[in-house]
Amino acid sequence: MQISDFFRGSPDGVSVSGPKIVCSFDVFGVTINLTETVIISWVIIAAVTLLLLWLTKDMQTKAVTKRQAVAEWIVQTVYGLVEDTMGKHWRHFAPYIASLFTFSILGSLISMLGLRSVTADFNAPLTWALITFVLIHGTNIRTHGFFGYLKGYVDPVPVMLPINILSEIATPVSMSLRHFGNVVSGMVITSLLYFALSAATKGLGIALLCIGVPAVLSLYFDLFSGFMQAFVFIMLTMVYISNADGSQETANAN
């Protein structure tokens, strides 16, 4: 993380800003901002695409290279996770779960390269939560029919209607805010720490505390938190979507 990004104004104040706008343009009177988040996402996508191309290059049925073993391990692990959580009939969902997890974790860990975390922009987790929201309701309509889906809102008694609607809306809001909150709080704490350490360095005259302390805290706030939030996000996505098709009860019964 670049300290200068988060330190604004006078040295005795700390402020944390949102993503910078690289450029903005008008499309039919609507201002579209191309932000730091989007540019860094492109970097991540390019890196992931190249990595996947490299991993799956020259694959053979025999004489498996380590590269191919990694590729097969990723695919089978994701298949296993999706089948265990959602059931075998949701197997086709594995590529989306893998891409969501990768995007989320790399979006958080990119901060270790000194770039701004993609997931520290509320719009990114919000987009993924909205995708999950659409998939939940799409699955629900597909399984129960449109009227069956609407009837679900007045279950078990019609009085529950506002509470049911609220709980459906709460799902994407809680998912996105949880993810955003965790990453951004780590960022804020790290900013505060850098401020404190630089103040201490000024006070002591030597930058002793700047060595080691940020690395240990970064281990928790970047690595652990980034991994946990990505994992929580995909688990919630899988559970919510597979619950929506009503077959989870039978799957659990088995």
Partner 1 sequence: MDFLTIDPGTILFTLINTLLIFLAFKFILFKRVDAILEKRQQEVKSVYSAADEALASAASDQEKYAQAMANAKEEAAQIVSRAEKTAQREGDAILAQARAEALAAREKASRDTEREQAQARTALQGEISDLAVELAGKIMEKEIRKEDHERLIRDFLAELDNTDEGDNA
Q: How far apart are CA 196 and CA 216, in angstroms?
A: 15
Q: How far apart are CA 242 and CA 74, in angstroms?
A: 22
- Note whether 36 and 116 are within 8 A (CB): yes
Interface residue with partner 1 among 16, 223, 228, 235 (CB under 8 A) is: 16
Using alpha carbons, select from 176, 164, 174, 106 the residue that is nearest to residue 137: 164
Which of the 8 DSSP states describes residue 108?
H
48 is a site residue for partner 1 (CB under 8 A): yes
Least distance in angstroms from the C-beta of 67 to partner 1: 12
Least distance in angstroms from the C-beta of 11 to partner 1: 20
52 is a site residue for partner 1 (CB under 8 A): yes
The region of 96-104, 163-171, 196-204, 208-216 touching partner 1 under the rule CB under 8 A is: 96-104
134 is a site residue for partner 1 (CB under 8 A): no
Residues 172-201 that bind partner 1 (CB under 8 A): 180, 184
Q: How far apart are CA 193 and CA 182, in angstroms?
A: 16
The region of 60-68, 137-145, 191-199, 215-223 touching partner 1 under the rule CB under 8 A is: 60-68
Helix (H) or strand (E) holding 16: none
Interface residue with partner 1 among 3, 11, 59, 189 (CB under 8 A) is: 59
- Note whether 57 and 51 are within 8 A (CB): no
Using alpha carbons, select from 111, 86, 101, 128 the residue that is nearest to residue 239: 86
135 is a site residue for partner 1 (CB under 8 A): no
41 is a site residue for partner 1 (CB under 8 A): yes
53 is a site residue for partner 1 (CB under 8 A): yes
| Residue 101: partners with Cβ closer than 8 Å, 6 or more residues away | 230, 231, 233, 234
Q: How far apart are CA 247 and CA 253, in angstroms?
A: 10
38 is a site residue for partner 1 (CB under 8 A): yes
Interface residue with partner 1 among 115, 124, 230, 244 (CB under 8 A) is: 124
Binding site for partner 1 (CB under 8 A): 16-21, 24, 30-35, 37-38, 41-42, 44-45, 48-49, 52-53, 55-56, 59-61, 68, 71-72, 74-75, 94-96, 98-100, 102-103, 121-124, 126-128, 130-131, 180, 184
